[in-house]
Amino acid sequence: MAKTMQLNSEQQAWAICMVRECCGVEISTEQLMVLLTLDPHLFADILVDMDTVAREHLMNTLAEQLGFPGWVRYGNSEDDSRTFFADFPKRAVEYGYRLVEGYWKI
C-alpha cells in the first residue's frame, strides 16, 4: 500500500472503534486498510477530521462492501431498514468479519 494511504495509530484505533461501536463488527487493521482502498474519500475524511462525517462514511463503505447501497438511513422504509439489519450481520460474517458479542440479536 502506498505510503500516502497510511493512517497513524490514533486514526486506525478511532476507525476500528467506530466500526465496533456503530456497526457491531470487529475489524482488524488489515480489514480497515481494505475499506480505505475501496473508497479513497474515506481515507481523506478520517485524515482531515475524525468526526461524524468520517464515521458515517466508514459505515457506508462497510455496508457497500457487503453489497448494500450504503448504511440504512432515516429516509429508508421500515421494511428496508428491517431487511438491512437482518442481513447485515450475516453478510459481515460471510465477508470474514467477527460480530461484537451481544450487539446483534441473531
Helical spans, DSSP H, in 24-99: 29-38, 40-48, 52-65, 78-94
Number of domains present in the structure of the chain: 1
Residue 8 neighbours by CB under 8 Å, 6+ apart: none
> How deeply is 101 buried, as exposed, middle or buried, from its count of CB atoms within 10 A (0-12, 13-18, 19+)?
exposed
> Which element (helix H / strand E) includes 99?
strand 98-99
Give the mean pLDDT of 10-39: 95
Residue 2 lies in a domain: no
Q: Are strands 25-26 and 98-99 parallel, antiparallel or unpaired?
A: antiparallel
Q: Tell whether 83 is covered by a domain.
A: yes
Q: Judge whether 52 lies within some domain.
A: yes
Local confidence band at 6 (pLDDT 50, 70, 90 cut-offs): confident
Model confidence, pTM: 0.89
Which residues span the domain enclosing 68? 10-99
**Could you report the per-residue pLDDT of 30-80, keeping only the tens digit for each?**
999 999 999 889 999 998 888 899 999 999 999 999 999 999 988 889 999
